Structure 1
Amino acid sequence: MLLHRDSKEYYPVSFLSLQPYDVKEQMQDWDEAFDWTDYFGRPGVEVYKMVVSGNDEIQGAIALARKEDHVFILLLEGAPHNRFGKTFKYVGLHLIAFACKRSMEIGHEGAVALESKTKPKLLSYYTQVVGAKHYGSGLMVIEEPIAEELVMLYLT
């Protein structure tokens, strides 16, 4: 459940397939460096939007690739109005927890990997806050016990 920064109320979330019209209608002011349309139609790639249940406004989005023994996060981004916890807090953690849940659903025991920008602040966030292991060159891996904890904390 997402925590609203000002009201301190929690809101349940849903993950739905991201569609081209979502990108066109709701994501124009998102980071221009990320082209979400690049991920549509790729084999083994799933693209999702996170919304507050009962509301169409996108709070975050994630693109996942199914690998042989894990799920790889290709891209994840919080909506501009959520950056730095402006409206809802913990958007990124919810997106990562969803990747862990998808990994569990497809039989990969929650194993998730991602390539972090090698900025020390991000690497520290992924290791200390998320619980991922850093394997060098920005490769971050989330294993089963941490995945289960993330799903429990952010999606139940």
Structure 2
Amino acid sequence: MLLHIRSGEHYPVSFLQLQPYDLNQMQDWNEALDWSIYFGDRSVEVYKMVIRGNPVIQGAIALERREDHVWVQLIESIPIQRKEFSWIGLHLLAFACKRSSEFGFEGAVALQSKIRPTLLQYYTNVVGASHFGGGLIVINEAVAKRLIMLYLS
């Protein structure tokens, strides 16, 4: 459940397929990110995360099923100036781990992070992932189980 920053209340989330019409709501997100390129790619699943009963997209993730893990093509949360909830990124990563488990990959997830010290520290210290240099981030089975338990149960 997402934590509402001001009230401290928790809200359940849902993950739904991202649709082309959803991009209108995401226009003021990071302009460098083009979510539309994934709509025609059958190898990539694209999801939005919303608070149950509320259509505002809190985050989105594009996942590709690889040989033995899920590769996160793109992950993004609502812009900071509109952010009302904490733990958005953790929920998105937990969902990627859940999909990996459903594929039989024991929660294994990898992604290419932007190489910013604060972001790399977030992945290693907060998420519990491993950094293999050059921004390559890997989430193993133990971390995946913890993320799923904490953020999707």
Question: What is the TM-score of this pair, normalised by structure 2?
Answer: 0.97
Distance of aligned partners of 1:133 and 1:84 in 2 relative to their CA distance in 1, 3 Å threshold: farther
In structure 2, what is the equivalent of residue 50 of structure 1?
A: 49
Percent same amino acid at aligned positions? 65
Deviations 1:89-131 (A, max 9, x none): 0100100000000000111100000001111111111011101
Q: What secondary structure sits across from 1:77 in the alignment?
A: strand
Unpaired stretches in structure 2, ≥5 consecutive residues? none
Offset at residue 86 of structure 1 (A): 3.7
In structure 1, what is the equivalent of residue 135 of structure 2?
A: 138
1:17–1:49 contact (8 Å) kept in structure 2: yes
In structure 2, what is the equivalent of residue 21 of structure 1?
A: 21
Q: What secondary structure sits across from 2:119 in the alignment?
A: helix
Unpaired stretches in structure 1, ≥5 consecutive residues? none
In structure 1, what is the equivalent of residue 68 of structure 2?
A: 69
> How large is the Cα RMSD of the aligned pairs?
1.2
Task: Give distance in 2, aligned partners of 1:86 and 1:45.
Answer: 26
Task: Give distance in 2, aligned partners of 1:33 and 1:104.
Answer: 30
1:65–1:72 contact (8 Å) kept in structure 2: yes
In structure 2, what is the equivalent of residue 11 of structure 1?
A: 11
Q: What secondary structure sits across from 2:6 in the alignment?
A: coil
Task: Give distance in 1, aligned partners of 2:149 and 2:81.
Answer: 23
